[in-house]
Structure formats: structure tokens, C-alpha cells
Amino acid sequence: MSLRGWLVDRLLLKQPRVRRWLTRLLEGDRDTDVSLLHTPVHVNTIREHGYLRASRMIARSSFLNDEVSALLAIAGLLPEADAFVDVGANVGIYSKILHRFAAIHPDLRFYAFEADPDTARRLAVTLAGTKVELFAHAVGDRETELEFARGAVSHVSTRRDLATRYQLDETFKVRCRPLDAVGLVGRNLVLKIDVEGQELAVLQGAAGLFAAGRVRAVFLDGAADGAEVAAFLRRHGLDFYDARTLRPAADLPYALLALRRPVPAP
């Protein structure tokens, strides 16, 4: 324990009267509503002060506020899935966290795709010692070579023709393959796609998987060409939910979880 942690523990946490007095001084004593991972919770500013502080921390972090909720939604699908497919894996946050399910579902397969060779190098380190199969190339609608514009931060790199003010002048070329050509194994695939504007091309390159009814779910973290993406998914029998709350969505939410409709029993 650090010196600061020791002082907090001895002078505050183990002094409940002092702790309550200080909390009342700073926060007052009232009941209030907070949001924890997009879930409303009714708390008291003193009795549940930890949840009050946590709600503020979550609100300041896009990872805690949005991606943790999406991870929970995807995790709920894995017990019935054959494989998790991480397109735009970056350094492997989704793949590495969800890979924990391999301990209780040993037949579950994992695939991670990352186009940027620099990012893929770090991804390989993250995934070392796991059963995740890494593909260091782009994913699109056909076999080709693509030119990418590198972002100031790794998660906003994209095809050069889609570049915006978020990308630098640095470019790199990389092989591109459709998911239909990769040889994914499984009848119930969960796809996570985070590819900075290339979502429709990735989906079109997986048309064979969709036509065969092999895609159980798709998570999209933002999507360009929203109308065409929505039409593609609806055409293949998927319904829309907000991935952060699991509420049904009529339109395409920013964080989309699209689920294949169950086939009616004969």
C-alpha cells in the first residue's frame, strides 16, 4: 500500500465519524439519481458515496461509459456463440477481456483483425498466450491492397479515401481480405466491427456468412453509410438494440447490437 493509501485508510476510512462528517460537508445529505453504465441508480450522497463518485468517474471516460456497457452486452451472447470475431481489434481490449470465457467455454473460438502493422505489433503482445487467432490485415468487401491514413491515436486510422481531420499525413499500405475468404469456423458468430467508416464494406465482405445464417450478432461502434448498413442487416434478419442499454431500437443507434431473429419452430 502506498503512503497516500495508508493515510487515507487510517485517517479517513477507519474513522467513520470523520468520514461521514467530511462527506456531508462536501456533498450534503440527500437522495439523488446517478447513472452507472447507462443504468439509473437511486443513492444517498453519504450512504452510497462510492457509487456517486464512480458515476462521475464513468461519465468522464468514454471507455468506462460506453465500451464497458458494450462488453457486457457481447459477453451475454458468448455462451451461445461459436466464435467472437474482432474486426478493428486495435490493441485487443475486447478480444483479451472476452477471451476469459475460454476458461468455461473451451470450444469458443476467437479471431482478431488489425490493419495497422504498428498497432498489430502491440496487439500480438496483448494476445500472447491466448487462443485468439490474429490476422494483421484489413477487412473489406474484396481481396485487394488498401492505403490507410494513420490517426493521431491508433483507433482512428482508416482508409485514405475516408480520411478526415482526425488523421495524419502518414500513410501505409496493407492487404485487405473479406471475412468470407478467411475461413472462420462456427455456425453462430458474434462480430464486433470498429473500422472508422468502413463498416459497410466489412459487412458486404461477409455476405456469404450472413446468407448462410452463420452470424448470430453484430456490434457496431458507430457506422458511416447508416441507411445502407441498416438495410443490409435488416435484409439478413437482424433486429436492432442499443448496445449500451439493450433497449430495442427502431433506427441505427451509435452503439448498435444487431441480433439475428430466432427461427420459428416448425
**Do residues 226 and 117 both lie within one domain?**
yes
Q: Are 111 and 83 in contact (CB under 8 A)?
A: yes
Q: How many CA atoms lie within 13 A of 85 on its CB side?
A: 28
- Write the CATH number for 236: 3.40.50.150
**Do residues 44 and 72 both lie within one domain?**
no
At 41-61, the pLDDT tens digits run 999 999 999 999 999 999 999
**Do residues 255 and 165 both lie within one domain?**
yes
**Do residues 100 and 184 both lie within one domain?**
yes
Residue 78 lies in a domain: yes
**Do residues 252 and 136 both lie within one domain?**
yes
Average pLDDT over residues 203-214: 97
- Residue 264 is predicted with a pLDDT of 53
Domain that holds residue 199: 64-260
- Residue 240 clears pLDDT 80, i.e. is over it: yes
**Do residues 71 and 19 both lie within one domain?**
no
At 142-180, the pLDDT tens digits run 999 999 888 888 777 888 888 787 777 888 999 999 999
**Do residues 50 and 73 both lie within one domain?**
no
Residue 41 lies in a domain: yes
Residue 265 lies in a domain: no
* Domains contained in the chain, number: 2
**Do residues 56 and 81 both lie within one domain?**
no
Burial 95-112 (b: 16+ CB within 10 A, else e): bbebbebbeeeeebbbbb
Residue 76 lies in a domain: yes
**Do residues 220 and 247 both lie within one domain?**
yes
Q: What Å distances lie between residue 195 and 88, 140, 192, CA to CA?
A: 5, 10, 10
- The residue whose grid cell reads 439478413 is 236
**Do residues 70 and 154 both lie within one domain?**
yes
Q: By percentage, how much of the chain surpasses pLDDT 70?
A: 94
- Residue 266 clears pLDDT 60, i.e. is over it: no
**Do residues 84 and 136 both lie within one domain?**
yes
In whole numbers, what is the pLDDT of the chain averaged over residues? 91
- Residue 70 clears pLDDT 60, i.e. is over it: yes
**Do residues 136 and 212 both lie within one domain?**
yes
Phi-psi region of 235 (alpha: psi -120 to 50; beta: other; left: phi over 0): alpha
